[in-house]
Homo-oligomer: A and B are copies of this chain.
Amino acid sequence: MQAGIIGLGLIGGSLGLALKDIGMFKVIYGLDINEIHMQQALSLGLVDECVSFCDIKECDVIFLATPVGAILDMLPKFIGIKPHATIIDLGSTKSLISDNIPQEIRKNFVCAHPMSGTENFGPKAAFKELLPHHIVVLTDLDKSGDLQVAMAKEIFVALKMNIIKMDSKLHDNHAAFISHLPHIISYALANVVLSQKNPKDILALAGGGFKSMVRIAKSSPKMWCDISKQNKDWLLESLEIFDKEIQVALDMLKEEDWEKLEKWMANANSLYEIF
């Protein structure tokens, strides 16, 4: 079997490395809109060969690992694909993609979201251990072909990933709270410190807490802007709920209600009873 990966950044590149290890594919082809990324992917050994979209289209299994906007744009281009082919999209949002796959090739698609990443991006950020032992959410599996679902499961099991099945709308809701909202918060905190008169002096005092909180503020703006666009409604809802929580904190501070503040903090602690 031949595999093709479109998008050779952190996710696509790491996938290439991991696929090489499991030995299911005779050859792993790659494609990226960025010529330099293709050269880097080849020299880093992320894929075996870089080819054209027409060649990728001939693969038995095709992975889409570009920003989500690019995934949406390329969906119609897969019309005419081999009937048995499996296309696995790895985008961080799922409803819009799932709903926009042309009907005649809907069964070829398996919509997946690997719940792992780092703040780094591009081919050089890729590493073999990114995906194994992490969760991958498969959505709207009833709309995929049996053959394609079986193939996707076989691959993710071989990659030692833990599969969770979910409706794409529920996925987008959950992903907003667990991934998209935290990114917006981290970007906001970084921007707050940068907006101060003397950010370098402030940063000189940074300990582990601050570093944790701004780590993902290093993430790709292109990728996260795209995700925000595609998951706008849920992200907006989660951000509004978060804003209300910040208002609660502001009020407790203004009112000097220390008893309530301590309880509020203790309630946050209780996350770790279920996490």
Are A209 and B229 in contact, CB atoms less than 8 angstroms apart?
Answer: no
Give every chain B residue within 8 A of A272 (Cβ-Cβ): 218
Are A218 and B262 in contact, CB atoms less than 8 angstroms apart?
Answer: no
Instruction: Specify which of A178, A190, A267 lies most central, judged by the most chain B CB atoms within 10 Å of its CB.
Output: A178
With contacts A185-B213, A186-B213, A236-B250 known, what are 17 further pairs, Cβ within 8 A? A135-B204, A178-B193, A178-B205, A179-B207, A181-B189, A187-B264, A200-B274, A203-B275, A219-B269, A221-B263, A221-B265, A221-B269, A228-B253, A235-B253, A236-B253, A239-B250, A242-B246
CA distance A203 to B177 in the complex (A): 9
Nearest 4 interchain pairs by C-beta: A221-B265, A190-B268, A187-B268, A225-B262
Give every chain B residue within 8 A of A213 (Cβ-Cβ): 182, 185-186, 212-213, 216
Q: How far is the CB of A92 from chain B (nearest CB, A)?
A: 10
State whether the Cβ of A71 lies closer than 8 Å to any Cβ in chain B.
Answer: no
Q: How many residues of A contact B (CB 8 A)?
A: 89
Q: Which of the candidate stretches A14-22, A58-66, A115-123, A151-159 sits at the interface with the other chain?
A: A115-123
Q: Which of B116, B171, B179, B212 contacts A216 (CB 8 A)?
A: B212
- Considering only CB atoms, which chain B residue lies closest to A206 in the complex? B178
State whether the Cβ of A232 lies closer than 8 Å to any Cβ in chain B.
Answer: yes
- Residues of A160-176 contacting chain B, CB below 8 A: 164, 171, 174-175
State whether the Cβ of A240 lies closer than 8 Å to any Cβ in chain B.
Answer: yes
Q: How far is the CB of A238 from chain B (nearest CB, A)?
A: 7
The verdict on A217 contacting B268 (CB below 8 Å), with A164-B205, A189-B185, A261-B225 known, is yes
State whether the Cβ of A80 lies closer than 8 Å to any Cβ in chain B.
Answer: no
Q: Which of B184, B216, B274 contacts A249 (CB 8 A)?
A: B184
- Considering only CB atoms, which chain B residue lies closest to A217 in the complex? B268
30 A-B residue pairs with CB within 8 Å: A115-B205, A116-B208, A137-B205, A164-B204, A164-B205, A174-B202, A177-B192, A178-B193, A179-B210, A187-B264, A188-B242, A190-B269, A190-B271, A191-B267, A191-B268, A194-B271, A199-B271, A203-B275, A212-B213, A213-B216, A217-B268, A217-B271, A221-B263, A221-B269, A225-B261, A228-B261, A229-B258, A236-B253, A242-B246, A246-B246
Give every chain B residue within 8 A of A196 (Cβ-Cβ): 177
Q: How far is the CB of A212 from chain B (nearest CB, A)?
A: 5
State whether the Cβ of A254 lies closer than 8 Å to any Cβ in chain B.
Answer: yes
Instruction: Specify which of A118, A194, A222, A249 lies most central, judged by the most chain B CB atoms within 10 Å of its CB.
Output: A249
